Amino acid sequence: MSADAARISVWNALLASVADEMGIALGLAGHSPNIRERRDYSCALFDATGAMAAQAAHIPVHLGAMPEAVRVVQSLAPWKRGDVAIVNDPYLGGTHLPDVSLIAPVFSNSELIGFVSNRAHHADIGGMSPGSMPIATELIQEGIIIPPLKLFAGGRRNEELFALILRNTRTPAERRGDFEAQLAAVRTGERRLEALAARYGTAELRARMAELQDYAERLTRAVIAEIPDGTYAAEDVMEASDGTLLPVRVTVTVAGDRITFDFTGTANDQDESINAVAAVTRSAVAYVVRCLLPADAPSNEGCFRPIHTVIPPGSLLNASPGRAVSAGNVETSQRVTDVCLRALAAALPGRIPAASAGSMTNFTFGGRRADGTGFAYYATIPGGAGAGPSGPGASAIQTHMTNTANTPVESIEAVLPVRVIRFAVRTGSGGAGRYRGGDGAVYELEFLERAAVAVIADRRRVGPWGLAGGGDGLPGRATHIARDGRETPLPGSFSRHFAAGERICIETPGGGGWGLTVRDDSDDRTA
């Protein structure tokens, strides 16, 4: 290894370790199961210009959109030591309202050397239903909207702003704890970045951040240059609440070491929450390209430079201001990933897998206990991964734009008035093929107290597609189970109350299969 290569490798590890340690602090200090166990958060650091310098291996949809939030909060400059900005507005660098970002400048002596940032999904941020993932038609119904503001100025917290935010949630004590965890992550990042500047000097730190971004750009351009020049198109669908199938279209143009994703022809934005903001769409595109890079390649601003997007305003993927977007972040981002991979499959037939579950299957519920205290819960339920040219897909796993863990059953039952009846693999739901798609999951839960429940899920009518002759995965479904055992099918997305003793059973999609099934007559087996 050359001296330059060794230096790049060392500095990539140094900077990424800052984001990793921020994430560890956030998870350990979190109060809600969503933060503490599911780890629904992301951390990154940025150079003094606001360009991403490194990130932890957290949530792709968070990380791809976070640079826009850091750019947006620059309107709050000039910065002082001890400042911390807060924002969740999806039209100003956010993803959806439950994802709240804290961003802080970092100084060495009096010199600005960078920013640290984290984004965490809060289990409730207000709005018209517990969990803040409602069946909504406009943004204001989904929760409190926080534009770029200083939560801390010079180390002093804006108590009035903090009180306002907490007053607009159903679980203020839990929210306070999760915000304190985010702040702990910010302070951890500040200390670690300051330590690097003290050890190596600010000029060296600045130079290495720039070098890593340039290196990531070169790697990305080299990978794009390996794709045959040409134009590759694909189409997929999102399922509207009335059953309409909404087209999501992309044309991918590769020219040398540049790649363009043009979403012209995609459906218009809708009077429901499946709209995505442009930052979320760009995040999904960046994820797809990043998947083509070596696993140890740096993840920073350099990866974005060769990627260009055309996202028509007023479309499902670049919603008009004020549109509801809570599902766009978690559902539509998955479809953007699917359609981009499908287009690239024509150019790279030996590298692209079949479609994975394509839905995060968002499950929220909440209410009031007998003692009057509120409760709220949010989770995504895993599905099947698509099979690929090298093997079958994994079962019951979070895929693509999500990267969370599962909340342990013991944790759910310890803090919420519910009983988990079953959490198992949905056997046989993956698509057939030379390599089978991964199976989805079955999640059955009984409510011990009355609760308002909402599910937002896609791939309920059209299952994840197979590739290279492989079969499609089974679509997902949900069922209401009455106290007497009667079962009633539920729509893909719904909001309703469940009484104590009633159950919900959610079955998530399986992944698509890859390749034709080949029969081996010599031993009568299916390969």
Please tell me the predicted confidence (pLDDT) of residue 526. Answer: 37
- Grade residue 519 by pLDDT with cuts at 50, 70 and 90: low
Instruction: Check whether 2 has a pLDDT greater than 70.
Output: no
User: 20 pairs with which residues across the strands?
Assistant: none
Give the Cα separation of 522 and 512 in Å (integer).
Answer: 27
Q: What is the pLDDT of residues 285-330, one digit of tens each?
A: 999 999 999 988 888 999 999 999 999 999 999 999 999 999 999 9
Give the whole-angstrom CA distance, residue 275 versus residue 333: 10
Region 93-101: what's the mean pLDDT? 93
Q: Say what the pLDDT of residue 39 is.
A: 87
Phi, psi at 80, each rounded to 5°: -130, 155
Q: Helix crossing, 159-167 with 172-200: angle to 10°?
A: 140
Amino acid 213 reads: Q
Question: What is the rounded distance in angstroms from the CA atom of residue 420 to the CA atom of residue 422?
Answer: 6
DSSP 267-334: PBP-SSTT---HHHHHHHHHHHHHTTS-TTS--SGGGGTTEEEE--TTBTTBPPTTB--HHIIIIIHH
Between 202-225 and 278-290, two packed helices, what is the crossing angle to 10 degrees? Answer: 80
Average per-residue pLDDT for the chain? 93
Q: Which two tokens stand for residue 83?
A: 């400042």
Q: What is the pLDDT of residues 318-373, one digit of tens each?
A: 999 999 999 999 999 999 999 999 999 999 988 999 999 999 999 999 999 988 88
Tokens 């089974």 map to which residue? 474
What is this structure's pTM?
Answer: 0.93
Burial class (CB in 10 A: 0-12, 13-18, 19+), 346: middle
Which two three-digit tokens encode residue 339? Answer: 């359609």
pLDDT in tens, 194-219: 999 999 999 999 999 999 999 999 99
Separation CA 32–CA 41 (nearest Å): 12
Specify the 3-state DSSP secondary structure of 260: strand
The CA-CA-CA angle for residues 499, 505, 510, to 5°, reads: 155
| Pick from 63, 308, 105, 83: nearest CA to 193 | 105
Q: Is the pLDDT of residue 518 over 90?
A: no
b vs e for 451-480, b when ≥16 Cβ sit within 10 Å of the residue's Cβ? bbbbbbbbbbebbbbbbbebbbbbbbbbeb
For residues 364 and 31, what is the distance between their CA atoms, to the nearest angstrom?
A: 17
Contact by Cβ (8 Å): 61, 55:
no
DSSP-assigned beta bridge partners for residue 83: none
For residues 104-118, average pLDDT:
96
Is pLDDT above 60 for 26?
yes
Which pLDDT does position 522 carry in this prediction?
42
- Whether the CB-CB separation of 288 and 337 falls below 8 Å is answered with yes
CA distances 407 to 38, 105, 197, Å, are: 5, 33, 38
Q: Which residues sit opposite 134 in a β-bridge?
A: none
- The 10s digit of each residue's pLDDT in 224-278 is 999 999 999 999 999 998 889 999 999 999 999 999 999 999 999 999 999 999 9
Q: Omega into 78 within 30° of 0, i.e. cis?
A: yes
Q: What is the largest CA-CA distance in the chain?
A: 76
pLDDT at 513 (0 to 100): 98
Element (H, E) at 112: strand 111-121
Residue spans of the domains in the chain: they are 3-217, 353-527
Band of pLDDT at residue 525, cut at 50, 70 and 90: very low
Query: What per-residue confidence (pLDDT) applies to 3?
Result: 59
Burial of 244 (0-12, 13-18, 19+ CB in 10 A): exposed
* Residue 6: predicted pLDDT: 85
Say how many CA atoms lie within 13 Å of 69 toward its Cβ: 39
Quick one: 211 exposed, middle or buried, by C-beta within 10 A (0-12, 13-18, 19+)? middle
What's residue 59's pLDDT? 74
CA distance 512 to 387: 6
> How many angstroms separate the CA atoms of 130 and 124, rounded?
6
Q: Does pLDDT of 390 surpass 80?
A: yes
313 to 253, 317, 527: CA distances (angstroms): 20, 8, 47
Task: Give the percent of the chain with pLDDT over 70.
Answer: 98
The dihedral of CA 196, 216, 352, 340: what is its sign? positive
